[in-house]
Copies of this chain bind each other. A is one copy, B any other.
Protein backbone atom coordinates (compact mmCIF):
# COMPACT_ATOMS: atom_id res chain seq x y z
CA UNK A 1 0.00 0.00 0.00
CA UNK A 2 2.53 2.59 1.06
CA UNK A 3 5.56 1.40 -0.69
CA UNK A 4 8.09 3.56 1.03
CA UNK A 5 7.28 2.16 4.47
CA UNK A 6 7.94 -1.36 3.26
CA UNK A 7 11.66 -0.79 3.03
CA UNK A 8 11.81 -0.46 6.80
CA UNK A 9 11.83 -2.85 9.69
CA UNK A 10 9.09 -3.59 12.18
CA UNK A 11 9.61 -4.11 15.88
CA UNK A 12 7.89 -5.59 18.84
CA UNK A 13 6.66 -2.90 21.17
CA UNK A 14 6.01 -3.62 24.80
CA UNK A 15 4.62 -1.49 27.56
CA UNK A 16 6.08 -1.65 31.03
CA UNK A 17 4.16 -0.21 33.93
CA UNK A 18 5.82 1.17 37.01
CA UNK A 19 2.99 0.78 39.46
CA UNK A 20 3.45 2.73 42.66
CA UNK A 21 1.48 2.14 45.80
CA UNK A 22 1.71 3.55 49.30
CA UNK A 23 1.15 1.36 52.30
CA UNK A 24 2.68 0.74 55.72
CA UNK A 25 4.13 4.20 55.51
CA UNK A 26 6.30 3.35 52.53
CA UNK A 27 6.28 3.75 48.81
CA UNK A 28 5.91 0.40 47.06
CA UNK A 29 6.36 -0.95 43.60
CA UNK A 30 4.38 -3.78 42.06
CA UNK A 31 6.60 -6.37 40.43
CA UNK A 32 6.30 -9.88 39.18
CA UNK A 33 8.51 -12.76 38.27
CA UNK A 34 9.00 -12.73 34.57
CA UNK A 35 6.80 -15.51 33.23
CA UNK A 36 8.71 -16.47 30.10
CA UNK A 37 12.12 -16.73 28.60
CA UNK A 38 14.51 -15.05 28.29
CA UNK A 39 14.98 -14.20 31.94
CA UNK A 40 12.14 -16.35 33.17
CA UNK A 41 11.81 -15.94 36.92
CA UNK A 42 13.75 -12.67 37.11
CA UNK A 43 12.05 -9.78 38.82
CA UNK A 44 10.33 -7.58 36.31
CA UNK A 45 8.03 -4.65 35.95
CA UNK A 46 4.46 -5.37 35.01
CA UNK A 47 4.41 -5.45 31.25
CA UNK A 48 2.91 -6.76 28.08
CA UNK A 49 3.00 -6.35 24.36
CA UNK A 50 1.22 -3.74 22.30
CA UNK A 51 -1.32 -5.32 20.02
CA UNK A 52 -2.37 -4.28 16.58
CA UNK A 53 -5.67 -2.61 17.35
CA UNK A 54 -4.74 -0.57 20.39
CA UNK A 55 -2.89 2.65 20.99
CA UNK A 56 0.15 2.47 23.21
CA UNK A 57 -1.73 4.30 25.94
CA UNK A 58 -4.52 1.77 25.68
CA UNK A 59 -2.07 -1.10 25.86
CA UNK A 60 -0.68 0.33 29.08
CA UNK A 61 -4.17 0.72 30.50
CA UNK A 62 -5.01 -2.81 29.54
CA UNK A 63 -1.90 -4.23 31.13
CA UNK A 64 -2.52 -2.25 34.28
CA UNK A 65 -6.10 -3.47 34.45
CA UNK A 66 -5.06 -7.07 33.83
CA UNK A 67 -2.70 -7.01 36.76
CA UNK A 68 -4.52 -4.82 39.26
CA UNK A 69 -8.16 -4.93 38.32
CA UNK A 70 -8.02 -1.14 38.18
CA UNK A 71 -9.30 1.28 35.65
CA UNK A 72 -9.23 5.05 35.52
CA UNK A 73 -5.86 5.22 37.06
CA UNK A 74 -3.44 8.10 37.25
CA UNK A 75 -0.94 7.17 34.59
CA UNK A 76 1.79 9.04 32.76
CA UNK A 77 4.15 8.07 30.03
CA UNK A 78 7.78 8.08 31.04
CA UNK A 79 9.27 7.51 27.61
CA UNK A 80 10.48 4.91 25.19
CA UNK A 81 13.43 2.66 25.88
CA UNK A 82 14.94 1.44 22.70
CA UNK A 83 18.48 0.17 23.04
CA UNK A 84 19.19 -2.60 20.58
CA UNK A 85 20.12 -5.17 23.19
CA UNK A 86 17.90 -4.08 26.05
CA UNK A 87 15.89 -7.28 25.78
CA UNK A 88 18.36 -10.11 25.29
CA UNK A 89 15.80 -12.27 23.51
CA UNK A 90 14.53 -10.16 20.68
CA UNK A 91 14.60 -6.54 19.70
CA UNK A 92 11.78 -5.04 21.72
CA UNK A 93 11.17 -1.35 22.20
CA UNK A 94 9.49 -0.63 25.48
CA UNK A 95 7.26 2.33 26.19
CA UNK A 96 7.16 2.88 29.91
CA UNK A 97 4.37 4.31 32.02
CA UNK A 98 4.12 4.96 35.70
CA UNK A 99 0.87 4.64 37.55
CA UNK A 100 -0.25 5.61 41.02
CA UNK A 101 -2.78 3.36 42.65
CA UNK A 102 -4.49 2.99 45.96
CA UNK A 103 -3.30 -0.33 47.27
CA UNK A 104 -6.59 -0.90 49.07
CA UNK A 105 -8.37 -1.01 45.76
CA UNK A 106 -5.77 -3.28 44.23
CA UNK A 107 -7.06 -6.74 43.55
CA UNK A 108 -4.69 -9.53 42.88
CA UNK A 109 -5.80 -10.93 39.57
CA UNK A 110 -5.33 -14.14 37.69
CA UNK A 111 -2.04 -12.80 36.42
CA UNK A 112 -1.19 -13.85 39.89
CA UNK A 113 2.43 -13.68 40.84
CA UNK A 114 2.65 -9.90 41.21
CA UNK A 115 3.67 -8.50 44.59
CA UNK A 116 4.55 -5.26 46.29
CA UNK A 117 8.11 -4.46 47.17
CA UNK A 118 9.57 -1.56 49.02
CA UNK A 119 10.98 1.20 46.88
CA UNK A 120 13.82 1.64 49.35
CA UNK A 121 16.32 -1.13 48.75
CA UNK A 122 14.90 -2.20 45.46
CA UNK A 123 16.21 -5.55 44.25
CA UNK A 124 17.87 -5.96 40.91
CA UNK A 125 15.28 -6.15 38.16
CA UNK A 126 15.68 -7.67 34.74
CA UNK A 127 16.99 -5.86 31.67
CA UNK A 128 16.81 -2.07 31.98
CA UNK A 129 13.96 -2.04 34.46
CA UNK A 130 15.96 -0.54 37.32
CA UNK A 131 16.84 2.38 35.10
CA UNK A 132 13.17 2.83 34.28
CA UNK A 133 12.22 2.92 37.94
CA UNK A 134 14.93 5.44 38.68
CA UNK A 135 13.65 7.74 35.99
CA UNK A 136 10.10 7.31 37.17
CA UNK A 137 11.07 8.31 40.69
CA UNK A 138 12.76 11.43 39.41
CA UNK A 139 9.72 12.35 37.41
CA UNK A 140 7.41 11.60 40.30
CA UNK A 141 9.31 14.08 42.44
CA UNK A 142 8.94 16.81 39.86
CA UNK A 143 5.33 15.88 39.54
CA UNK A 144 4.64 16.20 43.23
CA UNK A 145 5.67 19.83 43.10
CA UNK A 146 3.03 20.64 40.46
CA UNK A 147 0.10 18.38 41.12
CA UNK A 148 -1.64 16.98 44.18
CA UNK A 149 -0.86 13.40 43.21
CA UNK A 150 -1.31 12.13 46.76
CA UNK A 151 -4.99 11.56 46.10
CA UNK A 152 -4.11 8.68 43.83
CA UNK A 153 -2.01 6.84 46.36
CA UNK A 154 -3.96 7.39 49.55
CA UNK A 155 -7.28 5.98 50.66
CA UNK A 156 -10.29 8.27 50.48
CA UNK A 157 -9.78 9.46 54.04
CA UNK A 158 -6.32 9.98 55.42
CA UNK A 159 -4.49 11.87 58.10
CA UNK A 160 -2.10 14.72 57.44
CA UNK A 161 0.66 12.63 58.91
CA UNK A 162 0.01 9.98 56.27
CA UNK A 163 0.08 12.61 53.55
CA UNK A 164 3.30 14.01 54.93
CA UNK A 165 4.89 10.58 55.11
CA UNK A 166 3.92 10.03 51.50
CA UNK A 167 5.58 13.28 50.47
CA UNK A 168 8.65 12.35 52.46
CA UNK A 169 8.84 8.94 50.81
CA UNK A 170 8.58 10.38 47.36
CA UNK A 171 11.00 13.22 47.94
CA UNK A 172 13.36 11.20 50.08
CA UNK A 173 13.69 14.01 52.60
CA UNK A 174 12.09 14.81 55.89
CA UNK A 175 9.72 17.73 56.00
CA UNK A 176 8.92 20.08 58.84
CA UNK A 177 5.46 19.26 60.11
CA UNK A 178 4.28 22.81 60.66
CA UNK A 179 5.54 24.06 57.32
CA UNK A 180 4.03 21.09 55.58
CA UNK A 181 0.60 21.50 57.13
CA UNK A 182 0.50 25.21 56.48
CA UNK A 183 1.37 24.73 52.83
CA UNK A 184 -1.10 21.92 52.26
CA UNK A 185 -3.88 23.95 53.85
CA UNK A 186 -3.02 27.01 51.78
CA UNK A 187 -3.16 24.98 48.60
CA UNK A 188 -6.66 23.92 49.47
CA UNK A 189 -6.60 20.52 47.80
CA UNK A 190 -7.59 18.74 50.98
CA UNK A 191 -10.39 19.39 53.40
CA UNK A 192 -10.90 18.26 56.95
CA UNK A 193 -13.73 15.89 57.76
CA UNK A 194 -15.35 15.33 61.14
CA UNK A 195 -13.94 11.86 61.35
CA UNK A 196 -11.13 10.90 63.64
CA UNK A 197 -8.71 8.11 63.01
CA UNK A 198 -7.77 6.32 66.20
CA UNK A 199 -5.60 3.64 64.70
CA UNK A 200 -2.30 5.42 64.78
CA UNK A 201 -2.41 7.31 68.02
CA UNK A 202 -4.18 7.35 71.33
CA UNK A 203 -5.23 10.89 70.85
CA UNK A 204 -6.57 10.32 67.35
CA UNK A 205 -5.94 12.33 64.19
CA UNK A 206 -8.42 14.18 62.02
CA UNK A 207 -9.18 12.52 58.75
CA UNK A 208 -8.96 14.63 55.61
CA UNK A 209 -10.09 14.04 52.07
CA UNK A 210 -9.21 15.53 48.74
CA UNK A 211 -11.50 18.29 47.67
CA UNK A 212 -12.96 17.42 44.29
CA UNK A 213 -15.11 20.52 44.14
CA UNK A 214 -12.41 23.07 43.45
Contacts and interface: CB of A to CB of B under 8 A. Distances in A.
Nearest to A76: B79
Given A57-B82, A82-B50, A95-B82, A12 B8 contact: yes
Chain copies in the assembled complex: 2
A2 interface: yes
A49 interface: yes
A82 B95 CA distance: 10
Interface stretch (A83-91, A169-177, A184-192): A83-91
A56 B93 CA distance: 8
A38 B8 contact: no
Contact of A90 (B5, B56, B59, B82): B5
A5 B92 contact: yes
B82 A49 contact: no
Contacts of A10: 10-13
Interface string A52-73: 1111110100000000000000
Contacts of A9: 12, 49-52
